[in-house]
Amino acid sequence: MRAIYTFLILCALILGIQSFRLAGQESRKIRRIESGINFDGIPDEEVWQEIEPFPLVTYLPVSGKVPKETSIVRMAYDKQYVYLGGIMYVSDPDHVKAIGKKRDMIGMSTDWLGILMDTYNDKENALFFMTNPNGLRLDGTIFNDATPTGEDPPMDINWNTFWDVETSVDDSGWYAELRIPISSLRFEPKEDKIIMGIGIMRWISALYEMDIYPEIPQLWGDYSHMKPSRYAVVEFEGMKPKKPLYISPYLLSGFTQVHELNEEETAYDYSKDFILEPGLDIKYGINPNTTLDLTVNTDFAQVEADQQQFNLSRFSLLFPEKRPFFLERSSIFNFELGGGSSLFYSRRIGLYEGNPVRIWGGARIISRVNDWDIGFLDMQTASFDELPSENFGVLRLKKRVFNPYSYAGGMITSRIGVDGSYNLAYGLDGVIRLFGDEYLTIRWAQSFTDTTENNPFSLDPSRFLVFWERRKQEGFSYLLAGGYHGVAYEPGIGLERFPDYWVLREDLKYTWISPDSARMQSHSILLRNFNIHSVVDHSLLIYRFNPVWTFVTKKGWGGQLDLIYNLEYLEEDFEILDPVLVPTGRYQYVNTELMLYPPQSKPLSAMFMFQGGGYYDGYRISPSIKPTWNIGPSVELGGFYQFDYVQFPDRDQLLRNHIAGLQLLYMLSTKLSLSGYLQYNTAIDQVISNIRFRYNPKEGTDLYLVFNEGRNTLLDREIPVLPPYDSRNIMVKFTYTFEL
């Protein structure tokens, strides 16, 4: 305990003696216009000609060069909208690639034009708005200065807001006008001026070329061009949006059929139910930097099926949050504690053991006041089986300190049941840019429940994480981390993937960025040393030594090769799939992982993966492939196949599992789409079907028609004999948004 306090005091002293000076950065004034733009997808009006275009340079395949194609991209605003106008010339008409029309469809096989906006100029978070020659709309958020903290990208495309786009195409190229309502942006006026950071991006699929503004080198990994800390600074004068009020009632109707095993476990009972439910969501812009969201009888009906997974690890699986109510500036509530664990995990609200739980209502406030970020959330759920009705609360505060790239903050969470049960937790954290690309992260949390002795001076209900990293991905970089999970730590609205441990991790990496003449764009070698110990007796639970080689070529090929030495101690039997299990004991084995992908800019592309080698006291072979085929601008065919073969010869146990999926997307227009997803998983012996029709004539107005079914195979594998399907439902949902 004393050692921990000593370490924290030393960190504070280090931070206290640092002096930071932000290099002066000239801002560019964005032209304000009163009229003159005909929003038709061709930015050729006189007012456009009077605006200086942004000077784009290449980012891919080589950064800082003159682009092969000419781009004229300009920006303006009036009292209602921010505009982006782009003229994307091509030397060959065949260079224009227009693939995809569906809202938020993303891929590299189509051309793109987009703008990235750090609306608070906080050097950490941003919004992006992108389109392709078909007028597709893609928007999302960027967080953590576009620095990944795990395998997931530092961005979220599930966030949507109100904006429009018009495009056109001819033999000279393609043209676009993006129109973003000022009321859709959150910013902080200062003396009638608004300072933002912006980035511009053009992707030319046929040439595998990305042109950007401003110039950003490929020094921080795959998302270097998205880093808000590297955006150009721009200035708006007199930008004063009205206070938007969006009222979005919805009506959900459907029919559900379910087969459930009776209490005697002698037969399956059939039941059916007709659903007719109204609901309401309200969004009010209290001021340009504060938004209030209210919800009544929140609908979180799933309209997309999660991809089936077969878990061969001891860690629980993670699924992304897709429910709109939680998405706007969700990075404020980020309190990651390593390995996918977090003090706040929104999927703990309204979901219980995979089942949806009714949310009666709730409120959410997001605000920026000077250097403070403030997030508040409160929701009330209904009872479900043995689970009582509960209230969930979260308060998050973050303040920029020392420099624009650092913050300190805290979080409080509460989960209180009507039966008197409670779970309270708090956390304190800071991410500090010490100098250059050196960052120090410190996070501390404790939880308190009605079923334990709550001692705030004990490490039992405590959790902390400390790591030091060099974020620049050129030459030598590293990450040194340590963490602790007490035996009584249990965050009621958080997520922990492994209990009762302390961990040390060291990543040492060297990256080569190839010269212009080389075929290779970059490649790197990473050495990862990772070990987990029990907090009870400090015995070693998991040790891994993992050399990794990663490469990317200038033509878009890429891959990764891992060699992993594992040493694990199982304190209890690890059941993989009944009756196959790994008994308690000490295991030592070596395995490998391989990933390879061809250029994703081609109409037909795929990702190949392989895991194989030792596996506890046996071995495994797990190949998989994920192909995608764009058949013209309106049809996308995708698939997924994974085979897992696990054998333990000494124990005469064998496991084979297949997961296969087929996706079809037909896009009649940017407003109308039909998709189907068919999956088969032998682990559960089910065929899972999801068919979805969507009509989205404008933002805030949606009509969904959805069919879901879980159909059993091998019906006589159990007694009593299984029904043909576990569940089947058809749902219709209509939402209409009134803007007042």
**pLDDT tens digit sequence for 197-206:** 999 999 999 9
Overall average pLDDT of the 104-132 stretch: 95
User: Which helix (H) or strand (E) element contains residue 50?
Assistant: none
Q: What is the pLDDT of residues 314-373, one digit of tens each?
A: 776 667 777 778 877 788 999 999 888 999 999 899 888 878 889 999 999 999 988 899
Beta strand pairing status for 71-77 and 31-32?
A: parallel
Please tell me the predicted confidence (pLDDT) of residue 18: 38
CA distance 411 to 416: 17
Confidence grade of residue 718 (pLDDT, cut at 50, 70, 90) = confident
Residue 410 has pLDDT above 70, yes or no: yes
pLDDT score recorded for residue 288: 86
Q: Would you list the DSSP string of 192-255?
A: TEEEEEEEEEEEEGGGTEEEEES---S-SSTTGGG-GGGSEEEEEES------EEEEEEEEEEE
pLDDT of 19 higher than 60: no
The pLDDT, as a whole number, for residue 305 is 60
pLDDT digits 0-9 by tens, 360-407: 999 999 999 888 999 999 999 999 988 999 999 999 999 999 988 899
pLDDT score, position 312: 74
pLDDT score of 14: 36
Mean per-residue pLDDT for 231-250? 91
pLDDT for 595-615, tens place per residue?
999 999 999 999 999 999 999
All domains of the chain, ordered by start, with CATH?
29-237 (2.60.40.1190)
Burial class (CB in 10 A: 0-12, 13-18, 19+), 265: exposed
Residue 236 has pLDDT above 90, yes or no: yes
Q: At 639, which amino acid appears?
A: G
Please report, rounded to a whole number, the percentage of residues in the chain having pLDDT higher than 70.
95
Please give the pLDDT value at position 23: 38
Report the alpha-carbon distance of residue 83 to residue 729 in Å, rounded. Answer: 43
Please choose, from the candidates 405, 401, 21, the residue with its C-alpha nearest in 3D space to the C-alpha of residue 229. 405
pLDDT tier, 304 (very low <50, low <70, confident <90, very high otherwise): low
First to last CA, the chain: 56
d(CA 57, CA 10): 44
Residue 699: how many CA atoms within 13 Å on its side-chain side? 19
pLDDT at 10 over 60: no
Q: Please name which of 521, 494, 504, 517 lies closest in space to residue 468, comparing C-alpha atoms.
A: 504
- Distance CA(648)–CA(541), nearest Å, equals 21
Q: Are 59 and 222 in contact (CB under 8 A)?
A: no
Structure tokens at 685: 């012996």
Name the DSSP letter for residue 495.
Answer: B
Listed in order, strand segments (DSSP E) in 67-204 are 71-77, 81-89, 112-118, 126-131, 138-142, 155-156, 164-170, 173-181, 193-204
Is 539 buried (19+), middle (13-18) or exposed (0-12) by CB count in 10 A?
exposed
d(CA 469, CA 12): 17
What gap in Å lies between CA 61 and CA 254, rounded to an integer?
50
Neighbouring CB atoms inside 10 A of 397's CB total: 16
| Residue 292 β-bridge partners | 284, 365
- Residue 717 has which token pair? 């594998």
> How far is 100 from 49, CA to CA, in rounded Å?
30
Task: Evaluate the omega torsion of the peptide bond into residue 61 and state whether it is cis, within 30 degrees of 0.
Answer: yes
Number of neighbouring beta carbons within 10 Å of residue 616: 20
pLDDT at residue 338, rounded to an integer: 87
**Ranges assigned E (strand) in 472-539:** 475-485, 501-513, 520-534
Residue 6 has pLDDT above 90, yes or no: no
What are the residues whose beta carbons fall under 8 Å from the beta carbon of 160, sequence distance 6 or more? 103, 104, 139, 324, 327, 699
Q: Give the per-residue pLDDT at 317.
A: 66
Distance between CA atoms of residues 156 and 153, nearest Å? 8
Residue 603 near residue 585 (C-beta atoms within 8 A): no
Residue 150: CB atoms within 10 A of its CB come to 11
Contact between residue 694 and residue 707 where contact means Cβ atoms under 8 Å apart: no
Give me the pLDDT at residue 438, please.
96
